[in-house]
Amino acid sequence: MEESGDSLNLTGSWQGQYSYTRNKPPVAFSARFSENGSWLDGVIEEIGTAGEAKGRPIAATVQGRRNGRSVTWLKLYHGSFRLYDSVQYIGEVSADGQEIEGRWTIHGNSTGRFLMVRQGGQAAARKKRVAVKLPTG
């Protein structure tokens, strides 16, 4: 967290996973965010699960905003993988600033839930909660 005293500032490293509403396994990812004046940018990395990206590391740029505990961002995948374009995320930061939980949407295609935990501190205990809180189907 930044020294600014804003415990909700999202700057830092995160681990998380997203799930689908359909019968697909959840996907783990890591994120590095930088928040400045409520503007958010960063990078998300994961292993592709579909098409020509399946089994390959892929990255995406994140741009968004945080307003209090509400957060929204657009994830734009790097490269030219046909099944990977942009994803809208809308979520809420926990009161202690250690988790972000919400919903992701690919316009006209898919939707699901996500949960992220800040690395460090109590991250090991929280990782267990990620697996418990996210449905796989």
Report pLDDT digits (tens) over 40-57: 999 999 999 988 999 999
26 has a pLDDT exceeding 90: yes
CA distance 36 to 113: 26
State residue 4's pLDDT score.
44
The architecture of the domain spanning 12-127 is Beta Barrel (2.40)
Instruction: Break the chain into its structural domains and give their ranges.
Output: 12-127
Read off the tokens for 11: 């700057």
Q: Give 18 or 81, the one with higher predicted confidence.
A: 18
The answer to whether 74 and 64 have CB atoms below 8 angstroms apart is: yes
State residue 2's pLDDT score.
37
131 has a pLDDT exceeding 60: no
Read off the tokens for 59: 């990255």
Residues contacting 90, CB < 8 A, separation 6+: 70, 71, 72, 102, 103, 104, 105
Q: How confident is the model at residue 96 (pLDDT cuts 50, 70, 90)?
A: very high
CA distance 84 to 4: 36
Read off the tokens for 4: 């600014």
